[in-house]
Amino acid sequence: MSIWTQVLYAAISVIVATVYGLTLGGIVRKLYARVHGRFGPPVWQPFLDIIQTSSRRVSVSHGNMFLLGPVFRLAGGLGTYLFIPVIYGSAVFSNFSMTGDLLLVMYFVFFGQLGMALGAGQGGHPYSPLGIARGLAQMSAFEVPFSLAVIAVAIQYSSLNITTIVAAQQGSFLNWTLFTNPLAVIAAMISMLGMNMHSPFSIVLAPQEIPIGPPIEMNSGFLSILQTNRGLFAAAKLVLFMNLFFGGATNLLEMIAKTFFIYMFSVFVGAAYPRFRPEQSFRFFLKWPAIIGVLSIFYIAYLGGAL
């Protein structure tokens, strides 16, 4: 396969993932509205928002880093997605997974959030640094159980290559990490609640307290970039969790079904629980999920005869 063919396939994959992620976002907004007793916006509202914001122009700027913040954020989402195999064995949806591993993907996850923090931190509104401080603190907290779960998976499959991890889970659903190391899956799924920032961990955007947090001064095309990345990054995280813990996918329909139910887990929790205070969120991730993550490493090491 030539490099230009790979680039073309990757572009198709990114478009599909972005559309899917934005559609999920529209479904979630509709679900939350119905839970609150409202009719809610249409499912295609995220697409209308992007069209509206991208068509506007603004002359306000707080410096070069402020302008680069959304770009870094989108680069983090793209980098995360492009090094993950979306569909196992597919040429179109394999992306560039053969050139990167799980550690590279995790670096890109950090890169986007840190880039956005640098950009929003140069703004002039007090809600921006407040949201950044909360976001970085919560990210540091939920990354602890997630990293422990990833370490357990790497030990279990003796590899950091995501395609190899997916291949090891083929043959039967009993081969999924969900069944071979459930403790790692529990720790990772709890950490995903913080990644998706639904209640009770919606302390960064917190619309009733610090309206939309870090992006509060982002508008026009900058906000359009952030909205686009919101769909792409959501899809990338879901595909990553599917590959690591739920056996991956061998076709597009299986991918949609698995990622939809993975995402609905955080949506249902968000609809059922009120928002934590910031200190409650940080302590939560550093307590039970972290302990479960440590136990998952001992669990798989014991089964592997390492102890």
> Domain total for the chain?
1
Tokens of 158: 């003796």
Q: Are 112 and 214 in contact (CB under 8 A)?
A: no
Letter string b/e over residues 256-291, b meaning 16 or more CB atoms within 10 A of that residue's CB: eebbeebbebbbebbbeeebbebeebbebbeeebbe
Nearest to residue 248, comparing CAs of 234, 266, 262, 231? 262
Q: Are 182 and 238 in contact (CB under 8 A)?
A: no
Domain encompassing residue 276:
3-303
Task: Assess whether pLDDT exceeds 60 at residue 132.
Answer: yes
Q: What is the mean pLDDT of residues 204-217?
A: 73
User: What digits encode the pLDDT tens for the residues 221-230?
Assistant: 788 888 888 8
The amino acid present at 77, given as its one-letter code, is: G
Please report how many Cα atoms fall inside a 13 Å half-sphere around the Cα of residue 241, on the Cβ side.
28
Q: Band of the pLDDT at 307, cuts 50, 70, 90?
A: very low
Helix (H) or strand (E) holding 179: helix 177-180
User: What digits encode the pLDDT tens for the residues 52-98?
Assistant: 888 777 666 677 778 888 888 888 899 999 999 999 988 889 888 88
Ranking 97-111, 123-137, 183-197, 207-221 by mean pLDDT, the lowest is 207-221
Nearest to residue 181, comparing CAs of 144, 160, 140, 151? 151
pTM as predicted? 0.90
